[in-house]
Chains A and B, each alone.
Chain A
Amino acid sequence: MKTVLLVDDSPTILMSVKGVLQRNGLNVETAKTGEEALDKIKGGVKPDLMITDLNMPGINGIELIQKARQGGLKFTPMLVLTTESQESKRQEARAAGATGWLVKPVQGDQLMQVIKKVLPGA
């Protein structure tokens, strides 16, 4: 079973997206901050996919992607799930190593379509 690391400071998003992913046969690890996510990665969690919010207290989504890329997830697909839609932010995320960009709210079937593209076999 594929594992997804889901990072968002909103408990609603964590529950919502986790529910969607689990019902589609994915194992989900959650983190409320970028720091917690990095701790989990350091602690041995090796996700097949990471989905992160952009605006979070502490480390933001772009910094998290940069640090995660340096910290063992070099080839892991990483998606940004955010309310933000500014082109400049997208470019920042892309430069940091993000695989894709999704604007909240996103429908469950659309989310799964994207996940299946970046994570074959999911």
Chain B
Amino acid sequence: MASEERPLPKRARLLQSRLLRRIGFLLVMTWLLVFLTQDYVDQLTVYLGLKTSFVQATLNTLLVLSVLALQAVWSYFREGDLTAGASNMVRYFSDQLKDYLKALRHAEKAFDERQPLYGVLSGHLQRVNGHTEGAVTELMTHLDSMDQEVSNFVNLVGQRSEETESLAEDSKQKAAANQKALEDVSSLIRQQNRQMENNREKVLAVLERSKSLEDSIELIKNVSSQTNLLALNASIEAARAGEHGRGFAVVADEVRDLSKQSEKAAEKISGEILQMVETIQEQFREELDEGLQDEEQQMLDKIAGQLEHLGSGYLQLIDQHGQLVGEMFNVSERFKDLVIKALSAIQFQDVSRQQIEQVIHGLECLLKSDMAMLDLLENPAQLPKKELHIDLDEYEKGYVMQDQRQTHKAAVGKEAEEAKQNQKAPTPDIELF
């Protein structure tokens, strides 16, 4: 079509070119003016007595128009067509828009795919909390049972120990009583031995005196023999006297007979005394034996010593038993302390639970933001929902411990703020008001 148009005369083309150059110059100047006045919108507004937004919009419109006009002038000089630049620009933006829409479709699909993942992650974290809590509860139950078993055992040992101590005390008293009885018996035996010794000495004295009777009997025998001899002489002298000495002879015979009887009686008494001494000696032989008495005394002392040894051994056993029970109590106390420490340490689970709950809350915020983004992509003309933008400051308010706040500030690059806060006196973990 352009080749069929009649070409302009040379002068006309010259004028057209000069005009376009001037328009171009004016546009450049306009653009420069607009650009330079951007920083002075407020002053311009006051000077013109108009609204700031109106002045700003006017300046922006002028800027855009000047750029478009400049582009048209440039297109004319370059390609001889005023609309070539605009066409290129439209084509460029059209291509850009197509790419953008393509990217949006990908983004939409990606957001769509991410939604269940948030649920999955949240579910996993909740499961972790559940498992940890379950495991900790089970652990504490076992600890509790162990402690209960040890306490029961120690109570049982304590109870048995009291019974044993009672028995020991009873046995101790019995042993002491036995020892006392034995000492009494020993004393009685010693007393009896002394009595026996006295008796023995008396018996020996009697026996000695019995032996001394033999001399008296011998004297009787001697007197009897002399009497017999005297009676015999008297009989001889009576026979010499004849009839006158007959009566005297009878008396002499009677005297001889009496002397014989006296001798017989003395012998009989001597025999009886000897027999009596032998009988006494035979009867007291064992009892009067001093060696036997010593042996009995030694045996009694030995039994007393053994009983004393048995008693002291028993007391030692009781003492060792007491030490063992005491050590068991000590072990039990140490075990109780360990259980208390373990129970205290288990509080970490509550701390972790609250941290995980805050992470779950963060995932929920991300999910809501994604949902709002999807909503916006599907309905671009609508205003975006407030959940689209995640308010980290608001999220930070949900923290329940200093550790969370420190982690947050380190992650978002606010270490300096955190360091400033840390310069304040630290609050103690335990405080009484």
Contact = CB atoms under 8 A, between A and B. Distances in A.
B432 A100 contact: yes
15 contacts: A11-B137, A12-B133, A12-B137, A17-B343, A19-B143, A19-B144, A82-B400, A85-B402, A100-B432, A102-B430, A103-B429, A104-B351, A105-B351, A106-B344, A109-B340
Contacts of B140: 12, 15-16, 19
B433 interface: yes
B430 A103 contact: yes
A108 B341 contact: yes
A56 B402 CA distance: 18
Interface in B399-433: 400-402, 427, 429-433
Interface of B: 133, 136-137, 140, 143-144, 147, 336, 339-341, 343-351, 353-354, 400-402, 427, 429-433
Interface in A60-89: 82-87
A16 B431 contact: no
**Interface centre among B343, B345, B400, by most A CB within 10 Å?**
B343
Given A12-B133, A100-B430, 11 more contacts: A15-B346, A16-B343, A20-B343, A23-B336, A24-B340, A83-B350, A83-B351, A85-B401, A99-B433, A100-B433, A108-B340
A101 B428 CA distance: 9
A107 B344 contact: yes
Contact of B401 (A12, A13, A84): A84
A23 B147 contact: yes
A90 B431 contact: yes
A94 B427 CA distance: 14
Nearest to A84: B400
A88 B336 CA distance: 37
B389 to A, nearest CB: 26
B322 to A, nearest CB: 25
A38 interface: no
Contacts of B353: 10, 12
Given A16-B140, A19-B144, A84-B401, A117 B432 contact: yes
A105 B352 CA distance: 11
Nearest to A82: B400
A98 interface: yes
**Interface centre among A24, A85, A100, A106, by most B CB within 10 Å?**
A85
Nearest to B355: A83
Nearest to B133: A12
B430 A106 contact: yes
Listed from nearest, the 3 A-B pairs whose CB atoms lie closest are A105-B347, A108-B340, A103-B429
Contact of B429 (A15, A86, A102): A102
Contacts of B402: 85-86
A98 B430 CA distance: 13
A115 to B, nearest CB: 11
A7 to B, nearest CB: 13
Contacts of A55: 354, 400
B344 A94 contact: no
B425 to A, nearest CB: 10
Contacts of A23: 147, 336, 339-340
A45 interface: no
A100 to B, nearest CB: 4
Given A16-B344, A20-B344, A23-B340, A10 B350 contact: yes
A54 B349 CA distance: 17
Interface in A38-57: 54-55
B203 to A, nearest CB: 80
A85 B336 contact: no
A87 B426 CA distance: 10
Contact of B346 (A12, A101, A109, A114): A12
Contact of B347 (A12, A99, A100, A118): A12
Contacts of A20: 340, 343-344
Contacts of A109: 340
A104 B350 contact: yes
A98 B321 CA distance: 50
B341 A13 contact: no
B343 A108 contact: yes
Contacts of B351: 83, 104-105
A97 to B, nearest CB: 9
Contacts of B341: 107-108
B344 to A, nearest CB: 4
A7 B147 CA distance: 24
A30 to B, nearest CB: 14
Contacts of B354: 55, 83
